[in-house]
Every structure is written in C-alpha cells, then in structure tokens.
Amino acid sequence: MKVIEIGHIVAGPTAGLLLSDLGFEVIKVEKPGYGDISRTLTGTSSGAFPFYNRNKKSITIDLKKKEGVEILMNLIKHTDVLIDNLGYGALNSLGLQYEKMVEINSGLIYLTIRGYGEGPYEKRKSLDFPIEVHSGLAYMTGIKDRPMRVGASIIDMSAAMFGVIAVLNAIIERERTGKGKKITIGMFETAEFFMGQHIASYQLIGKDLKPLNEEGFAWGIYDFFSTLDGKKIFIAVTTDDQWKKFCGLFSLDADEFPSNAIRYSNRDKLIPKISDIVSRIPLETITKLLDKENISYSILYKPWDLLNDIHAGSKMIEEKYNGRTLKVPTSPLGNSQLNDPPQLGENTEELLRDLGYNSQDIERFKREHII
C-alpha cells in the first residue's frame, strides 16, 4: 500500500514512519529547495529529520503552482493514504479539497493531524508545548508554580499514533465498503484524553490536584535513592508482597508499615530510612538484590546512555545521514524496511517517470521550479 506524507517536523512524519514500519511505501512530498522544516533544525532538534524520516522516498513539488497540484493529484490516484499536518485548511487553500481527491480515488483515506479537532478552536494554530499547557499536562508534569514540558514531543507523536490506529481501522472498513474516509486527529484532543484520569479524580475528591511531582504517586516507595557510588536508582514497591520481599533483602521490619496506605502516609519516616540504607550499598549490589526478588527499579539514564545499554542497543538500527552513521531506535512495531532518510527530492525523477512523465516534462518542471 502507498502513503503520501505532506508533513513536517514531528506529527505527520511520525505517522508516516509508523506506517512504513508496517510495510507501507511512504512518499514524502517536500517543498523544492527547502523540504521539511526539520531538515534545517539544529542543536537539540538536529536529530529530528533523521529519526522521523527513515524508510521514506522524497519528491519535491511546489504545491503553490498549478502543475505542482496536478502532479500531486496524479500521485493521489494511485495512493491508499494521504497524511498532512499543515494546519487547518492548508490543503483546501491550495485547491486540494478532500471532495476533489475522492473524485479521482474513492478509496483514499485522508489523515489530517492538527492542533485542534473539530469545534470552536479548530482554526487555532498550535504546537506540542502550547497543547501541553492548554490541556493541563504541563501543570501535572511540573512542580508548584512551574509548569513543565514533557521531555519528548509526546503529543505530536501520540496524535500520530491515534491517527495510524484510525487509518488501519479505515482500511478494514474499506474492504467492506470500497470507500475511503477523512480522519481528523487533534493534538488537543489527544492531550485531553491523557488527562482523563486527573479530570475524573478532581470530580471524585472535590478539590484541586497538585502536580504529580508535588503530590507523589500513590505508592509508599516510588522514589529516587542515591547509592554508595553516587548513582541514582528509582525503586518501586507497589504491593504488600513486594514490600515483604524488599524488607527481607534489607533487614527491615515488614510489620512496621504493613500496607501501602500506611507506607504512603508515613513516607516522611520511611523514605529517609531507605535512603540511608541504599546510600551504604553500591549500585551493582543493589540491582542484584532487587533482581533476585523481581522488584521494579531503574537506573537514572540520559537518553544517549541507551546507546550503550544492552537491551536498548538491540532495539536500534544504523542509518546514514549527511555523511554520518547514526544509531536510532526502531518503533515497537518492528520494521519491514531499513532505508536511510532520503536526501531532499532524491526520488523525484523516479516517481515522476512511474506516473508517465518523460524526460522533457521533468526538465521543464525543473526549469520552472515546479519540482
């Protein structure tokens, strides 16, 4: 199956990436001479393009020109899925209304990802962090009087995931009806869904919730501890059975705090006591003890530490980008193709020839900056 992706930075490209991992052929449509905005990002965002755009082909088309739109429409004739995350009405303004697309391809499934879904705010432009702020996610993530952004483009990526789920469902429906459909996924609606538990809790307890990092996480032992060799380890003890095993490892009296409710209400006593014990033991010894009783823990890592992690390393692939060899994570879906991120317009001529354009057509398109 074929996918056209008219996307940039994160949301649209994530949807394209996931579909490529499921075996779809993904054709990325980019602006001649510029391409996806993420191609030129620097610093902490410099890895965006190579991460989100492996397994794709790149064609350059100027969609502000009549013949550029005609080329895209010719591509759409032979396409199963069209993705865009350009914002409300962007394709319509170019004369690319969904109604026109389905006239030439009744089975087309069109996924549009934007800041807000249908409703009063549907025309509002937005980005990941503003959506986190509006939805309350930044409030719940931060600390008192300091809302914070999640350390990944989590809303962009999650909106794309919901989009892919909807696309797969639409493909199943198409088997029965023969018709495609338009799917609109809002980033705000995605974040709102994530906040559902907190919205429900507020109504049940009848008062404001504190940010999670102020309130705690409902468990008596669910915290960071420093080891003898200066490492940070997060330990989670969430059941009474785990508590008994934990106490057996560290010579604690399990009957002193027998239930999670008691442990949670006595964190001011319990956490300092465990901190003192852990501070006297090196990390390797701690992890061996916790592994012995299968008690949940994690060593505090930075993302790039995963390059040297024996489990994470097996989930990465190598790709070449701008003369560099990079290791990047695969998606949990697995992967059917492992192609490098495309150079801007790398597949333009190939794809145009597949559509029936000849050498003279292609040379004219170049001269007129249509491709």
The CATH number for 2-194+341-367, chosen from 3.40.50.300, 3.40.50.10540, 3.30.499.10, 3.20.20.70, is 3.40.50.10540
pLDDT at 107: 97
Rounded to an integer, what is the distance from CA 281 to the centroid of its chain?
Answer: 37
When pLDDT is cut at 50, 70 and 90, the band that residue 338 belongs to is confident
Rounded average pLDDT over 189-203 = 97
Pairwise CA distance, residues 22 & 14, whole Å: 13
pLDDT at 26: 97
* Contacts for 99-102: CB closer than 8 Å, 24+ residues apart: 100/73, 101/73, 101/76, 102/179, 102/180
When pLDDT is cut at 50, 70 and 90, the band that residue 217 belongs to is confident
Rounded average pLDDT over 4-22 = 96
pLDDT at 335 over 80: no
Active site (annotated) includes residue 268? no
R_g of the chain, CA atoms, integer Å: 25
Contact yes or no for 132/102 (Cβ under 8 A): no
Among left, alpha and beta (phi > 0; psi -120 to 50; other), residue 329 is: beta
Closest CA to 282 of 234, 235, 224, 230: 230
* Contacts for 361-370: CB closer than 8 Å, 24+ residues apart: 365/67, 365/71, 368/65, 368/67, 369/32, 369/33, 369/62, 369/65, 370/32, 370/61, 370/62, 370/65, 370/67, 370/68, 370/71
Q: What is the pLDDT of residues 95-109, one digit of tens each?
A: 999 999 999 999 999
DSSP element (H, E) containing 71: helix 66-77
pLDDT at 27: 98
For the chain, the structural domain boundaries read 2-194+341-367, 214-302
Pairwise CA distance, residues 100 & 121, whole Å: 25
**Average pLDDT score over the chain:** 95
pLDDT at 216 over 80: no
Q: What is the pLDDT of residues 45-54, one digit of tens each?
A: 999 999 999 9
- Which residue among the candidates 156, 240, 241, 361 is catalytic per the annotation? 156
Rounded average pLDDT over 34-48 = 94
Amino acid in position 38: S
Under DSSP, the state recorded for 143 is B
pLDDT at 193: 98
pLDDT at 345 over 90: yes
pLDDT at 336: 63
Q: Name the CATH topology of 214-302.
A: formyl-coa transferase, domain 3 (3.30.1540)
Rounded average pLDDT over 265-292 = 96
* pTM (2 d.p.): 0.93
pLDDT at 337: 67
Cα-Cα-Cα-Cα dihedral sign, residues 171, 173, 178, 179:
negative
Rounded average pLDDT over 35-43 = 95
pLDDT at 87: 87
Pairwise CA distance, residues 301 & 278, whole Å: 18
**% of residues, the chain, pLDDT over 70:** 99
Q: What is the pLDDT of residues 114-137, one digit of tens each?
A: 999 999 999 999 999 999 999 999
Matching fold, domains 2-194+341-367 and 214-302? no
pLDDT at 56 over 70: yes
Rounded average pLDDT over 65-86 = 96
